[in-house]
Amino acid sequence: DAKTTQPPSMDCAEGRAANLPCNHSTISGNEYVYWYRQIHSQGPQYIIHGLKNNETNEMASLIITEDRKSSTLILPHATLRDTAVYYCIVRVANAGNNRKLIWGLGTSLAVNP
Partner 1 sequence: DTAVSQTPKYLVTQMGNDKSIKCEQNLGHDTMYWYKQDSKKFLKIMFSYNNKELIINETVPNRFSPKSPDKAHLNLHINSLELGDSAVYFCASSYGQGVTEAFFGQGTRLTVV
| Residues near partner 1, by CB under 8 A | 32, 41-46, 49, 85, 87, 91, 94, 96-101, 103, 105-106
For residue 25, which of 55, 56, 2 has the smallest C-alpha distance? 2
Given the complex with partner 1, which of 80 and 93 has the nearer CB atom?
93
Least distance (Å) between residue 15 CB and partner 1: 27
Between the two ends of the chain, the Cα-to-Cα distance in Å is 36
Given the complex with partner 1, which of 80 and 105 has the nearer CB atom?
105
Given the complex with partner 1, which of 14 and 103 has the nearer CB atom?
103
Q: Give me the half-sphere count of Cα atoms (radius 13 Å) on the Cβ side of residue 57.
A: 8
CA distance 79 to 98: 37
Given the complex with partner 1, which of 42 and 113 has the nearer CB atom?
42
DSSP state letters, 69-92: SEEEEEETT--GGG-EEEEEEEEE
> 87 has which bridge partners?
36
Least distance (Å) between residue 111 CB and partner 1: 19
Least distance (Å) between residue 16 CB and partner 1: 26
Least distance (Å) between residue 21 CB and partner 1: 19
